[in-house]
């Protein structure tokens, strides 16, 4: 989850977003044949082009669903949700699944650098594409010595905006709109003048159980850090937890207003009081992690009940 300036990925998606049916079709084929993605004619079995198969392989890894090298699920959470026969939501029918995929993509700076940057570092609620490109290129120049083709960067930005944008002009065909899962999250809106909005607000589809799972993933990444190291009762300032400058920012990735995220955390502390508690010291709100540990697998089952 931490950014490594020597490991950044652009131009690997072949200009295709991940379509609704690709995930189940690919995982079902891999479940039947672990070597499926390495077969020279596997794209024919899926009914897609070679470039599309390359895109599917990339996205399954970037969304942290599939360990592409080993042709197996990245972890138990991915298996629980996406298994083609036993999964809780293998067809991406629930919005919670799309949010979890969004979180896992945008907290993956090595394999999805652009999505990490846009949903963590770029906080403009109103912008034009040229402004976005300029800000991104400035960030890259100040962050890494690696060089990327301007055309590659622009193609990736175009795809990000296409993946997440709802347009006021209905520019996209109906078929393509129905194939794209992530417009349902309403994270980016394209205005009639070509500019974009990406607003921080209350989001009904982000519930406290979903937020709890995200916090568990983040805390797992923070193990060994100064925030969590060698404390019997672990206390974390909420500001550092929900909008970290070092780790992925929950607030930014979900584009949540501060009032909304505080309310969700309060609800989390009520339902999972055995594991979490809120406190306030000198005007600073903190999350206390108690001795008992909440299992991410149990939480996922609870989320999908």
Q: What is the pLDDT of residues 2-42, one digit of tens each?
A: 888 888 989 999 899 999 999 999 999 999 998 888 888 88
Give SS3 for 45. helix
Q: Around Cβ 279, how many Cβ atoms within 10 Å?
A: 12
Q: Which two tokens stand for residue 228?
A: 């969590």
Q: What is the pLDDT of residue 118?
A: 98
Q: What is the pLDDT of residue 230?
A: 46
Give, to the nearest 10 degrees, the angle between helix 208-222 and helix 258-271. 90
- Taking alpha carbons only, the member of 105, 98, 53 closest to residue 74 is 105
Q: Give the pLDDT band (50/70/90) at residue 168.
A: low
Taking the C-alpha atoms of residue 253 and residue 248, their distance in angstroms, rounded to an integer, is: 8
Q: Among 22-36, 75-89, 228-242, where is mean pLDDT lowest? A: 228-242
Q: What is the pLDDT of residue 82?
A: 98
Q: What is the pLDDT of residue 302?
A: 94
The strand pair at 234-237 and 196-197 is best described as unpaired
Taking the C-alpha atoms of residue 173 and residue 40, their distance in angstroms, rounded to an integer, is: 32
Does residue 242 carry a pLDDT above 60? yes
C-alpha distances in angstroms, 37 versus 34, 68, 271?
8, 8, 42
Taking the C-alpha atoms of residue 66 and residue 63, their distance in angstroms, rounded to an integer, is: 8
Does residue 232 carry a pLDDT above 60? no
Q: What is the pLDDT of residue 35?
A: 87
HEC secondary structure over 155-213: HHHHHHHHHHEEECCCCCCHHHHHHCHHHHHCCEEECCCCCEECCCECCCCCCHHHHHH
Q: Around Cβ 246, how many Cβ atoms within 10 Å?
A: 13
Per residue in 53-78, pLDDT tens?
999 999 999 999 999 988 899 999 99
To 5 degrees, how large is the angle CA 119–CA 125–CA 127? 95
- Taking alpha carbons only, the member of 92, 86, 42 closest to residue 63 is 92
Which domains can be identified in the chain, with CATH numbers?
20-197 (no CATH), 208-303 (1.10.10)
Q: Around Cβ 72, how many Cβ atoms within 10 Å?
A: 14
Q: Taking the CA atoms of the chain, what radius of gyration do you get in angstroms?
A: 20
């Amino acid at each position: 989850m931490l950014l490594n300036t020597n490991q950044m990925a652009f131009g690997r998606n072949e200009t295709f977003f991940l379509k609704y049916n690709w995930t189940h079709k690919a995982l079902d084929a891999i479940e039947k044949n672990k070597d499926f993605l390495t077969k020279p004619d596997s794209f024919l079995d899926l009914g897609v082009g070679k470039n599309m198969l390359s895109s599917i392989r990339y996205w399954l890894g970037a969304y942290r669903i599939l360990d592409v090298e080993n042709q197996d699920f990245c972890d138990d959470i991915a298996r629980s949700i996406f298994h083609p026969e036993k999964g809780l939501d293998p067809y991406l029918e629930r919005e919670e699944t799309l949010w979890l995929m969004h979180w896992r993509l945008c907290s993956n700076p090595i394999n999805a650098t652009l999505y990490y940057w846009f949903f963590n570092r770029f906080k403009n609620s109103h912008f034009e594409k040229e402004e976005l490109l300029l800000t991104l290129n400035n960030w890259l120049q100040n962050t890494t010595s690696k060089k990327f083709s301007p055309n590659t960067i622009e193609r990736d930005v175009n795809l990000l905006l296409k993946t997440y944008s709802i347009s006021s002009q209905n520019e996209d065909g109906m078929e393509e709109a129905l194939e794209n899962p992530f417009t349902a999250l309403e994270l980016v809106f394209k205005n009639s003048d070509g500019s974009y909005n990406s607003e921080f607000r209350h989001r009904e589809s982000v519930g406290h159980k979903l937020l709890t799972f995200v916090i568990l993933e983040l805390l797992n990444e923070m193990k060994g850090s100064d925030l969590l190291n060698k404390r019997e009762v672990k206390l974390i300032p909420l500001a550092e937890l929900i909008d970290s400058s070092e780790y992925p920012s929950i607030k930014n990735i979900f584009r949540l207003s501060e009032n909304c995220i505080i309310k969700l955390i309060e609800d989390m502390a009520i339902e999972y009081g055995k594991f979490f508690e809120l406190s306030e010291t000198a005007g600073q709100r903190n999350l206390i992690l108690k001795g008992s540990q909440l299992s991410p697998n149990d939480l996922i089952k609870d989320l999908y009940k």
